[in-house]
Amino acid sequence: MFTRDGASAIKKDIHNTVRLCQALGNPHRQFKSIHIAGTNGKGSTSHLLASILAAAGYKTGLYTSPHLVDFRERIRIDGEMIPQENVIDFVSRHRSLIEQIQPSFFEVTVAMAFDYFATEQVDIAVIEVGLGGRLDSTNILLPEVCVITNIGMDHTDLLGNTLEEIATEKAGIIKPKVPVVVSERDETIAHIFEQKAREMNAPLRFASTELAVRSCEHSGQGLLVKIKDNMHHRTKEVYVGLAGHYQQKNILGVLVAVDELQKRNWTIRAEQLGEGLANVIRNTGLQGRWQTLSTDPLIICDTGHNEDGIREVLANIYSTPHRKLHIVIGVMRDKDISHMLPQLPKEAVYYFCSPDISRAMSAAELKNKATQYGLQGMAYPSVNNAVDAAKEAYLEGDLIFVGGSNFVVAEVLKNYSYIH
């Protein structure tokens, strides 16, 4: 498992997935799909689009990874997780096939998701790429629309050491004549998407060229975002039921993707679009995106864990009124944290921890590395110990932030607001 072992668990081709799906009767050809890749934002984008489609009355599958608490989070229909008995039945029925092909954990999960969506006859499924794009197990789809979100430095040991190399891997999901939406235009790598789209004869749209955020402010549990349509010279306001300011980047790609779906005769009315954006958590069960776990003490978690993700998290922290900042943080051993640690605020108090997984960096090692960047704090044997220590030190007006890794957030969610 990649979760446990890291890069050594990855099988960098789609051959096993092709064989599995052929044996299952090619279930991925029995439903429509949207395919989503990117370094940051692909999870939020996937959930937003699934919420909108469900609000529009379509039976909507959603495949994402990794899960935070329950494996079944990865496979949902209209927000409901795949039943336990379906997971058990799939593995039982196809055990000999799995043993014969020897696929990775992720490859089996993709095949399971496609089989479940086909069996349940979904109208459309939103499928998030696991890693990269070109060689990802999900890349056997012929979708209605492809969406590529932010491109940043992550998984460099697998995808390449430059933005150009990483963008090339992500562009690998572009299919012949299938419209592709790139959420954020970056002039240093835009040519890679343009060239691939030309090769595939695929219509290409850069959402940040067509649309621009004029203002973004917290409202209730989400964001009120004012967006200018540069193509039609008009402005509209949308409410997004997610609180992280980084969602303003994702929303542009989502809106252009919806426009592409409408062009392909998917009926999504304005009020359904608004309902889907506002109720994304209720409609999909999304967790861990600038999520408030407690208000007294104020505890917020976020799964951002690479250079760009941490930068966005810090922007949220700075825009959240607080007196003293407590940061509970843990990371994986195989992450390059030399780009992350220098960004973190020196004035915060740190609670270094290690999630209960063999891939995790020890709290002591993380503390030693962080000290080199002027970050001060104590090491704790577990995530829960670290959170307890932060709560003990908390005074009214402070902020406790928990993050650095999906696995840190997952352990905290088990004790707080996770909804089964």
* Total of domains in the chain: 2
**Residue range of the domain that includes 355:** 291-414
Tokens matching residue 166: 């990483």
Q: Is residue 5 part of a domain?
A: no
State residue 8's pLDDT score: 47
Judge if 308 and 231 occupy the same domain: no
Whether the bond into 179 is cis, omega within 30 of 0? no
Q: What is the 3-state secondary structure (H, E, C) of 129-197?
A: CCCCCCCCCCCCCCCCEEEECECCCCCHHHHCCCHHHHHHHHHHHCCCCCCEEECCCCCCCHHHHHHHH
CATH number of the domain bearing residue 354: 3.90.190.20
- Report the pLDDT averaged over residues 121-149: 94
pTM of the entire structure? 0.91
Judge if 218 and 263 occupy the same domain: yes
Judge if 379 and 310 occupy the same domain: yes
Q: Lowest mean pLDDT: which of 45-59, 275-289, 308-322, 398-412?
A: 308-322
Q: Where are the beta strands (DSSP E) in 198-332?
A: 204-206, 211-219, 222-229, 234-240, 291-295, 298-301, 325-329
Q: Is residue 8 part of a domain?
A: no
Q: Is residue 371 part of a domain?
A: yes
User: Which of 260, 284, 308 represents a domain boundary (last residue)?
Assistant: 284
DSSP state of 360: B
Could you report the per-residue pLDDT of 355-411, keeping only the tens digit for each?
A: 999 999 999 999 999 999 999 999 999 999 999 999 999 999 999 999 999 999 999
Q: Is residue 104 part of a domain?
A: yes
Q: Is residue 255 part of a domain?
A: yes
**pLDDT-derived band at 419, boundaries 50, 70, 90:** very low
Is residue 243 predicted with pLDDT exceeding 70? yes
- Report the pLDDT averaged over residues 265-271: 98
Element (DSSP H or E) covering residue 262: helix 247-263
DSSP letter string over 64-121?
-S--SS-GGGGEEETTEEPPHHHHHHHHHHTHHHHHHH---HHHHHHHHHHHHHHHTT
Cα–Cα distance, 70 to 410 (Å, whole number): 9
Cα–Cα distance, 128 to 381 (Å, whole number): 33
Judge if 278 and 296 occupy the same domain: no
Position of tokens 């697998």? 158
